[in-house]
Structure 1
Amino acid sequence: MSGSGVELTHRAMAMLRAVAAGRAEMSCSCEPDLFVDGFACCDQMTAHALAHGGYVRPAADGAVGRVPAELTEAGRAALEITLAA
């Protein structure tokens, strides 16, 4: 699946699973960084692509700094497709 021009690689799907499990935070910025289990994600390019592609978003609107990350509807759909396969 590549809904918004984002290739959902195995790494991208693992990042989505971490967000779904409540293990991820993201920075509230124009280039949002992803943190999993308190550590900066090793592939921020993919993290940016997931955010800009509409798969993940900050859980708090208008927040500053690092906040919990959450899946969007597109992110949940991407995970459901892989679980069904």
Structure 2
Amino acid sequence: MTTTSALSGRDRAILRAVAAGGAELALGSEPDLFLDGRCCCDQAAVHNLVRAGLIAAAALGLVGQRVTAGLTLDGQAALGATPVVAA
């Protein structure tokens, strides 16, 4: 996935869930997403969204630590929403 036009319905649903709040990333080489404390069921999609720069951690942390996650400017643009986390 290199452009927002290549986003699947599931990708957009994950972005909407992150935008709604309550999202955390467990930091690491392939960060895992948790929504309202529950592990997101499609971590492969999450990894793609993070690599594409659409989702990012809002703070620095240690490997394995959960930190607040949000949409980057590009992630917000993909949904046509207001930015939460700068890219």
Residue in structure 1 matched with residue 69 of structure 2 by the alignment:
69
Deviations, residues 26-83 of structure 1 (Å, cap 9, x unaligned): 11111000111111110000000000110000010x21200110110110000018xx
Q: What is the rounded CA distance, in whole Å, between the counterparts of 1:73 and 1:27 in structure 2?
A: 21
Per-residue deviation, 1:23: 2.2
Partner residue of 2:57?
Answer: 58
Contact 2:23 2:35 in 1 (8 A): yes
TM-score when normalising by structure 1: 0.83
Q: Name the counterpart of 2:25.
A: 26
Query: TM-score, normalised on structure 2?
Result: 0.81
- Tell me how many residue pairs correspond in the alignment: 79
Flag structure 1 segments of 5+ consecutive residues without an equivalent.
none
Runs of 4 or more, structure 1, over 4 Å off, are: none
Unmatched tracts of structure 2, length 5 or more: 82-87
